[in-house]
Structure 1
Amino acid sequence: MKTKTNYPFIYFFAEPNVVFVYKIEGEEYLTVSDLSQRGEWQTYEIKNEDEFETFNHEAHVALVGRGYFLQRDQYHFMAGKINQLIQSRRNIIQRDRGMEVPTVHLVSSPSTVGSLRVGLDRPKKVIGFQDPFSIGPIWKLESKIGQAYRYEWLYENINFEQDDYELENRFTNTLLEIADIPDHLPIYIWVANNGNEQTGLRLFLYLLKDKTNEITVINTTDLADYWMTPYDSKQSMFHSSMLRPPQLKLLFEHISVEKTLSQQERIQYQKEWESLAQAKDVLRVWQKGRVTSVPEDYYDSFILKTIEQTHQKQESMDFIRAGRVVGEILHQIDEIVGDVYFEYRLRHLIYNGVLELKGIPKSMRHYSVKLRD
């Protein structure tokens, strides 16, 4: 698909003779689903492909009452091109007026992104990955080939209740946000002691390897143990999302106990990411102070034990909602593996004849399981 720019408009040519025109109306990066909700679309017909080289929508009449079907991958391509244009404009605006925030905060927990935006004083910039980095391959994830490999595995195995390309769009948009950070701003990376956030920490520092910003790591697990009241400290904080916005603000006010990372420390984290990104494992946990890759079936015996214990509470062995099984598991582990991974393992155990199925396994709400007699 050919493209050309007439800011704030961007043109897309689709064979044999259709031009889609999108008007950019903001500075926020877009996903595929955003394209139908933000900005303005118009459609034009031209005589042939050669005319596209000189096309200007102002000299043509847009089609009314007629539409054209586009594949999801075409929308994905369009979103990427639109975001590239948005980034180039953001860089110009940033250079002309300067960055308006004094600090940038990075986090690998979607819920913690929202808590930081609410809890920390304005102005500030909070950037976060939506991906669960404890699951799925991270082989060469900093590159396009690695990203394609990861999302192919996720789409084939994990029941994300999102539109196609949505998760991938959000990931690439976060990469753009990180690239946009001016070199003079201090960066704070929030992390807790779990496989997801610790993997994200190492990815962040790899992506920041060419930037000169001062970087401070805020370990919410360690700081919560030190600064929270005895009542708050009864439960160990093994992921940042366990902290409420006022608690996150309190920790940020006491980060003097932390220190800016030295160049040697940054290089060490970068090397650890490079090591992690060499493997094609799909499950990671935090063990003995390091991110550890474990077998894909690491939790399978625990899943089966949970189902067996639930059966023992029944008058007779009956089917159990998949969502209930997953909920029981999540209450008993200290890792951020996520309900979608455990649901994936349930399906695997069904397909391999270990569990019986009742319903349709399109989501954990739609089926039940039990141990085979």
Structure 2
Amino acid sequence: MGGKPGIARVFDRLGNQGTKLYLGFALEQIRKLKEREAPREKAISELIELYDELIESAEKRAAWDPVPTCTHVHFVVGDSFAGSLKVALNQLNWSGTHKVITLSENYAIGPIRGLDLYEGWKARWDWFQDHITEACEVCDDPEEDYNQLLEQVNKIPEQAKVIIWTSRNACEQTGMLHAIRLLSGRSNSLVLYDACAICEELDNRPDAAISYRHSGEIPSDKLQAALVRMKDNSCLRDADRTRLEREWQTISKQSGTLRIWRDGAVAEVPDNYYDMYLLGKLDKLRPASDHGYLKTARLIGEAMGYCEQFIGDAYFEYRVRQLIYDGILEIKGVPSSMRRYSVGRKKIT
């Protein structure tokens, strides 16, 4: 107990695609050894480095999995917020009893229809592969990703209090509802906390105010203060849990791929909701030089900076590419990343 994870478990976590990649690399080093294509010491060193990398990755992930002795389990939406929260828990010396489950999804975008089942999860993954350029870097095996999340939920001990962090944006509110659904039928007491609201209340003064769009913007030292303010007597009532589960059932039947936070609720809007907004920013920013072309990264940075919603740069770039496909914008450069190409209004001839 508490030792290094076994090789079998490491490969279970990697999934089929990840296993093939690492196995292919290992076999290539063995071939070089056998055929003496490379110095023996170099090939052996690279194999050892591969082993250490796999074990270290598994250990880091396992360190934050729920364990039988933990007293609190935190559900957070987004890797950035999860990282800051883990740092805050470490600094408070709470990491032994407080564990974190990270919902890495950007729930503001992409389909969530039928996300309760693997088929819905896979359909969402397919959409990201087809429309979001960074999707391939995030997860290469949706089944392994889905099963891992369910495994983490199943590890939550009965005595642990579950804290679901959310905030005033479509991403975290939808993620909160998904967490409620994942916990359906479990007897754990649940608490909802709005990290942005708590930190704003702690920091704001009559002469200075700060406003966060999402929890990932909050630094770890601010989260420490929010954690200390947690009250263990503010659990969700059964009626509230039932209401939130019904909200999830309603929203997960929708077929759209874009959600915003409006009038205190998650609202589904058309895919092209921000197209005119992006075109307006382009018309404002495009330079007289370079024939009116503007770097896509500059356009998206401006769009994100002035957008009241938390959407993410990946969706804005998807819509820029769609405007190119639709013949509204022209492209100059290679669209392998937003920094490598520019866009301009298509010239009418």
Whether TM-score is above 0.5 comes out as: yes
Give the corresponding residue for 1:293.
Answer: 268
How far has the Cα of 1:233 moved from its partner? 6.2
Q: Is 2:172 aligned against 1:203?
A: no
Gaps of 5+ in 1: 1-7, 10-22, 44-63, 67-85
Query: Residues 300-339 of structure 1: matches in 2 within 5 Å?
Result: 300-311=275-286, 314=288, 317-339=291-313
Correspondence for 2:70 among 98, 101, 115: 101
Query: Residues 231-250 of structure 1: matches in 2 within 5 Å?
Result: 234-250=209-225
Separation (CA, whole Å) in 1 of partners of 2:22 and 2:302: 40
Question: Structure 1 residues 257 and 103, CA, compared in 2 at 3 Å: closer, same or farther?
Answer: closer
Whether contact under 8 Å (1:323, 1:365) holds in the other structure is yes
Give the corresponding residue for 1:80.
Answer: none
Letter in 1 for 2:303: I
Deviations 1:341-369 (A, max 9, x none): 11100010001111111122232122110
Deviations 1:257-309 (A, max 9, x none): 98211111111111111101111100001111111101100111110011011
Deviations 1:12-44 (A, max 9, x none): xxxxxxxxxxx325599335575378899999x
Whether contact under 8 Å (2:177, 2:244) holds in the other structure is yes
Query: Residues 56-75 of structure 1: matches in 2 within 5 Å?
Result: none
Separation (CA, whole Å) in 2 of partners of 1:183 and 1:41: 42
SS, match of residue 306 in structure 2 = coil
Instruction: After superposing the two structures, state which structure 1 stretch, 167-176 or 188-197, moved more.
Output: 167-176
SS, match of residue 255 in structure 1 = coil
Whether contact under 8 Å (1:25, 1:39) holds in the other structure is no
Separation (CA, whole Å) in 1 of partners of 2:26 and 2:330: 51
Separation (CA, whole Å) in 1 of partners of 2:164 and 2:18: 28
Question: Structure 1 residues 248 and 233, CA, compared in 2 at 3 Å: closer, same or farther?
Answer: farther
SS, match of residue 197 in structure 1 = helix
Which structure shows the bigger proportion of residues in strand conformation?
1
Correspondence for 1:181 among 156, 172, 175: 156
Letter in 1 for 2:80: S
Q: Is 2:331 aligned against 1:357?
A: yes
Correspondence for 1:29 among 3, 8, 13: 13
Which structure shows the bigger proportion of residues in helix conformation?
2
Separation (CA, whole Å) in 2 of partners of 1:145 and 1:240: 29
SS, match of residue 13 in structure 2 = coil
Letter in 2 for 1:350: I
Total equivalences in the alignment: 305
Question: Structure 1 residues 314 and 173, CA, compared in 2 at 3 Å: closer, same or farther?
Answer: farther
Separation (CA, whole Å) in 1 of partners of 2:266 and 2:165: 16
Give the corresponding residue for 1:368.
Answer: 342
Give the corresponding residue for 2:107.
Answer: 133
Correspondence for 1:153 among 109, 124, 127: 127
Query: Residues 245-284 of structure 1: matches in 2 within 5 Å?
Result: 245-256=220-231, 259-284=234-259
Question: Structure 1 residues 217 and 164, CA, compared in 2 at 3 Å: closer, same or farther?
Answer: closer
Separation (CA, whole Å) in 2 of partners of 1:129 and 1:232: 36
Q: Is 2:90 aligned against 1:110?
A: no
Gaps of 5+ in 2: 28-32, 36-57
How far has the Cα of 1:187 moved from its partner? 0.8
Deviations 1:126-159 (A, max 9, x none): 1111111100000000101111211111111111
Deviations 1:90-110 (A, max 9, x none): 9xxx9xxx7232211111111
SS, match of residue 134 in structure 1 = coil
SS, match of residue 343 in structure 2 = strand
Give the corresponding residue for 2:42.
Answer: none
